[in-house]
Amino acid sequence: MDLARFTEVDPTTWRIEPREAMRVPAIIYADENLIRDMDDKVFEQAANVATLPGIVQASYAMPDAHWGYGFPIGGVAAFDPDHGGIVSAGGVGFDISCGVRTMLTGLKVADIIPVQKSLADSLFRQIPAGVGSKGTITLDTIDMDAMLSGGARWAVERGWGDRRDLERIEEEGTMVGAKPDHVSERAKERQRREMGTLGSGNHYLEVQAVAEIFDAAVARAFGLALDDVVVTGSRGLGHQIGTEFLKEMVVIAQASGIELPDRELACAPINSEVGQRYLGAMRAAINCALANREILGQYARRVFAHFFPNCDLRLLFDVSHNTCKVEPHAVDGKRRRLFVHRKGATRAFGPGHESLPAALRSVGQPVLIGGSMGTGSYILVGETSSERKAFSSACHGAGRALSRHAALKQWSGRKVIDDLAAQGILIRSPSTRGVAEEAPGAYKDVAAVVAAAERAGLARSVARLRPLICTKG
């Protein structure tokens, strides 16, 4: 992007001044290189979000932002229901509550190396991944509604989880206000046989080693030490809910007199029948994602227990990326109840936040940043300054630098697998083409994204993780 289009507030804060229908400015947090490399569409989409009714303060984009649909991926925006604020299905996206969790194994790299290959094979075999994979759980009507209401707590009660995990999951594992009745039969049908599956594309499960520690005190509070091995993975759901409400909201937005610069920004007033119905369904989809990640975590525990009978995988934290959540935030000195949309962004509460479990309250929320297959991941911690900067939000990954199309032109999946194996990283996937599309070079430099997030005051680096095993759908 052309930097001349922005007001440079500081080296990591770039403001698009309000123009035409924009109600507030748009702010992109990134360093000069990242913002230069961003697609012009990020500018356009962040500016479009700023036109929506009831938006508070600014439309934000995180350092990993890229061209999405409607909102940019990496977009954050908060709306006030008392000022005509809206809720947008496009602002949450299709992969509702897609997220990441990190589990601490208590093992060292030296424990993994002798069994690395068979552990990789076992994780790949035991945890269904990819298109056409089948889970072993089928939900009947009663279980479906119980799952959509109960989230990870439901999974634990059904024996697919560990009660200790719940306090380490956003919303303590259960999103309140979920309305299974507002989820269509078609959406439920789409989920009936998908529990305990990893999904495909950028969904993954990795065994990683702590390679570097930047903040020893917080790392200690998180239970991270050098050479420790952790398991990280992502998965989400809600495609059908997104599809259906997007369609409905295009009509409602028009009927409510909301001018949409892009149909994908389809939205409804929060205080409207459709808005409330969407929130009920979207919260049910959040529960579905929380339940699914709890089940996947339990599957990972079983596989590890086979190799390491005394190993006890403890959940560090579980974060969600595509959500709209009601949160109190200070705006101009006043506490306001806002509907915060995060699309491809992580909630990042700083120290002292009331929703954090006692063990983490004094340090802040773990912010888990999945990198690409080869480059590893980062663990950050929420900063108090992030509330003022972007309603307590941070980036969610490296963000794609190249389209799947371009990645496929540039890399062979087989070669990517061989090159990573030579570096000690084992990849397991049903599709070499899928591996090529997710090649490390197709993503931005995750270190640069994390550094920009840190400099912008969104979150602070705690540790860098390097992958040992990656299974992906």
Does residue 421 contact residue 371 with C-beta atoms inside 8 Å?
A: no
Pick the closer one to other proteins by CB: 179 or 400.
400
Q: How far apart are CA 386 and CA 6, in angstroms?
A: 21
Pick the closer one to other proteins by CB: 41 or 455.
41
Residue 201 is a binding residue for other proteins (CB under 8 A) = yes
Q: In a 3-state reduction of DSSP, which class is residue 140?
A: coil
Taking the complex as a whole, the smallest distance from the CB of residue 322 to other proteins amounts, in Å, to 11
Pick the closer one to other proteins by CB: 178 or 436.
436
Residue 281 is a binding residue for other proteins (CB under 8 A) = no
Q: How far apart are CA 266 and CA 251, in angstroms?
A: 8
Which segment (173-181, 283-291, 401-409, 419-427) binds other proteins by CB under 8 A?
A: 401-409
| Size of interface with other proteins, in residues (CB under 8 A) | 49
Does residue 340 contact residue 80 with C-beta atoms inside 8 Å?
A: no
Pick the closer one to other proteins by CB: 191 or 461.
191
Pick the closer one to other proteins by CB: 294 or 437.
437
Among 23, 190, 314, 336, binds other proteins (CB under 8 A): 190
Q: How far apart are CA 259 and CA 265, in angstroms?
A: 10
- Range 11-16, long-range pairs (CB < 8 A, 24+ positions): 11/455, 12/63, 12/452, 12/455, 12/456, 13/456, 15/58, 16/43, 16/46, 16/47, 16/50
Q: Which residue has the tokens 């006692």?
A: 358
Pick the closer one to other proteins by CB: 144 or 246.
246
Known catalytic residue at 396: yes
Which segment (152-160, 210-218, 245-253, 312-320) binds other proteins by CB under 8 A?
A: 245-253
Q: How far apart are CA 209 and CA 119, in angstroms?
A: 15
Residue 108 is a binding residue for other proteins (CB under 8 A) = no
Residue 414 is a binding residue for other proteins (CB under 8 A) = no
Among 115, 211, 311, 408, binds other proteins (CB under 8 A): 408
Taking the complex as a whole, the smallest distance from the CB of residue 7 to other proteins amounts, in Å, to 25
Pick the closer one to other proteins by CB: 177 or 430.
430
* Interacting positions 125-164 with other proteins (CB under 8 A): 130-134
The alpha carbon torsion through 76, 81, 87, 92 (nearest 10 deg) reads 30
Pick the closer one to other proteins by CB: 325 or 472.
472
Residue 214 is a binding residue for other proteins (CB under 8 A) = no
* Interacting positions 423-452 with other proteins (CB under 8 A): 430-434, 437
Which segment (182-190, 325-333, 367-375, 381-389) binds other proteins by CB under 8 A?
A: 182-190
* Two structure tokens written together for 53: 């009714």
Containing 167, the helix (H) or strand (E) segment is none
Taking the complex as a whole, the smallest distance from the CB of residue 400 to other proteins amounts, in Å, to 5
Pick the closer one to other proteins by CB: 382 or 473.
473
Does residue 232 contact residue 206 with C-beta atoms inside 8 Å?
A: yes
* Alpha-carbon distance values, 90 to 27, 96, 143, 229, 252 (Å): 19, 10, 28, 37, 14
Q: What is the DSSP letter of 104?
A: E
* Interacting positions 57-96 with other proteins (CB under 8 A): 66-70, 73, 90, 93-95
Among 107, 230, 250, 390, binds other proteins (CB under 8 A): 250
Taking the complex as a whole, the smallest distance from the CB of residue 432 to other proteins amounts, in Å, to 7
Does residue 242 contact residue 96 with C-beta atoms inside 8 Å?
A: yes
Residue 412 is a binding residue for other proteins (CB under 8 A) = no
Among 165, 171, 264, 294, binds other proteins (CB under 8 A): 264
Strand 377-382 with 459-472, pairing = antiparallel
Q: Computed from CA positions of residues 134, 137, 138, 143, in that sequence, does the dihedral angle turn out positive or negative?
A: negative
Residue 261 is a binding residue for other proteins (CB under 8 A) = no
Residues 6+ apart with CB under 8 A from 95: 236, 237, 238, 239, 242, 321, 322
Q: How far apart are CA 231 and CA 119, in angstroms?
A: 12
Which of the following is catalytic: 182, 353, 396, 405?
396
Among 403, 415, 418, 421, binds other proteins (CB under 8 A): 403
Residue 343 is a binding residue for other proteins (CB under 8 A) = no
* Two structure tokens written together for 58: 């600014």
- The dihedral region occupied by 14, where left means phi > 0, alpha psi between -120 and 50, and beta the remainder, is beta
Residues designated as active site: 396
- Which residues would be at the binding site for other proteins (CB under 8 A)? 39, 41, 66-70, 73, 90, 93-95, 130-134, 186, 189-190, 199-201, 239-240, 242-243, 246-247, 250, 262-264, 266, 400, 402-406, 408-409, 430-434, 437, 473
